[in-house]
Amino acid sequence: MTWQDFPKIELHLHHEGAAPPEFIRRLAQEKSVNLSGIFDDSGSYAFDDFPDFLRVYEAAASVLGSPDDYARLTAEILARLAGHGVIYAETFVSPDFCGGGDVSAWREYLHAMTEAAAQAEAAHGIVWRGVVTCVRHFGPYRSRAAARCAAETAGQGIVGFGMGGNETMGRQGDFAWAFDCAREAGLGLTTHAGEFCGADSVRQALDDLRVDRIGHGVRVVEDPALMDRLAASGVVLELCPGSNLALGLYPDMRAHPIDRLRRAGVRVTVNTDDPPFFHTTMTDEFAALELAFGWGEEDFADITSTALRAAFCDDVTRDTLKERLAAGHPALAARFSPDRMKTDVFNPDLLR
Ligand code: HPA
Ligand code: ZN
């Protein structure tokens, strides 16, 4: 068995960032849009650094102009994920790209995505949920419209609210209104922090936005006391090691802090962020972690169990997923055996 077949859960994946370059090129051709500036000679996305990545990302996203485009993209993404053993995926979807923050336009985009997801579930067994994200560099004002969209569609395929975009713009607390609105609507909360900004941005995420999960958060290792606090809090990190390597945070996988974080008791999950941009897949991530740290089936069962608990879906869905994970691999069956669960020091109050 290769890691490809190991049943997986993915929690940190940007919807547009999962669009293969061929998909975007085809759409651009259909619409007679010239996007040649964002691809290299081999047809891959071309960017120099994180701000440039965001530019290329937004140029690619600009050809996704209708609910039907998002339906096609959703079908493409979920088929690909299912091919890597993913049985449940949460993707980041931005009303900013889907109707410009207008609630009724957003409803149409979301409807198209949920219909495509239902078809993907019937065809491939993969379950999809959306986490509405605001875009940090679009500012706090637009984050409020995104949060209103999220609150209005909570429970209709939408299970969480988060923030992506350029982490160096403003402070986490500038977006507190949006996160409070989403919390009030019963949504799970996550924000990008501790990727391009230091440990203090993780502290801000905990104190000012009171999130359940943090996107990346790797730079918390720069502050051991905060790392202990994070471990005790039960807040889960959505780690994306391949993304961090592609954007130059670490020279190689052995230098990535994922293993250190896990040993310090921080709850970590493994994700791909924007897989075609970073030339990765969930299978690649697992294989690279095995190679760098010797992680095996037990480790990945543990990581998958953490992801299952941290998923923002309802508990009925979670229980169904647990059964499917247990049926899908002996290490997962052992991880979820009644004996093992009894000895598990898991405080549900700390997690959603
Ligand atoms: N990081 C932050 N913001 C983003 C990303 C990402 O990888 N992709 C799209 N928006
Ligand atoms: Zn991300």
Task: State the distance from the centre of ligand 1 to the C-alpha of 347, rounded, in angstroms.
Answer: 31
Contact 19, 77 (CB under 8 A): yes
> What domains, with CATH codes, occur in the chain?
8-19+67-338 (3.20.20.140), 21-63 (no CATH)
* pLDDT tens readout for residues 210-228: 999 999 999 999 999 999 9
**Is 162 a pocket residue for ligand 1 (Cβ < 6 Å)?**
no
Task: State the distance from the centre of ligand 1 to the C-alpha of 15, rounded, in angstroms.
Answer: 10
- Can you give the pLDDT at residue 351? 37
* pLDDT tens readout for residues 271-305: 999 999 999 999 999 999 999 999 999 999 999 99
Helix (H, G, I), strand (E, B) or coil at 213: strand
- Can you give the pLDDT at residue 342? 55
Higher local confidence (pLDDT), 74 or 345 = 74
Contact 9, 87 (CB under 8 A): yes
Share of the chain above pLDDT 70, in %: 96
- Which atom of ligand 1 is nearest the CA belonging to 243? 7
**Is 238 a pocket residue for ligand 1 (Cβ < 6 Å)?**
no
**pLDDT of 339 strictly over 90:** no
**pLDDT of 313 strictly over 50:** yes
Q: How far apart are CA 201 and CA 156, in angstroms?
A: 31
Q: How far apart are CA 178 and CA 148, in angstroms?
A: 8
Mutate to test the pocket of ligand 1, among 54, 240, 278 (most ligand atoms within 8 A of CB): 54
* pLDDT tens readout for residues 32-64: 999 989 999 999 999 999 999 999 999 999 999
**Is 215 a pocket residue for ligand 1 (Cβ < 6 Å)?**
no
Contact 351, 234 (CB under 8 A): yes
Least reliable range by pLDDT among 73-82, 229-238, 340-349: 340-349
Contact 213, 310 (CB under 8 A): yes
12 closest CA partner among 307, 315, 279:
307
Task: State the distance from the centre of ligand 1 to the C-alpha of 165, rounded, in angstroms.
Answer: 5
Nearest CA to ligand 1 atom 10: 165
Neighbours of 186 (CB within 10 A): 12
**pLDDT of 235 strictly over 60:** yes
| Segment (H or E) for 129 | strand 127-135
Task: State the distance from the centre of ligand 1 to the C-alpha of 21, rounded, in angstroms.
Answer: 16
- Which atom of ligand 1 is nearest the CA belonging to 247? 7
- Residues labelled catalytic: 195
* pLDDT tens readout for residues 173-201: 999 999 999 999 999 999 999 999 999 99
- Can you give the pLDDT at residue 338? 82
* pLDDT tens readout for residues 110-136: 999 999 999 999 999 999 999 999 999
- Can you give the pLDDT at residue 346? 46
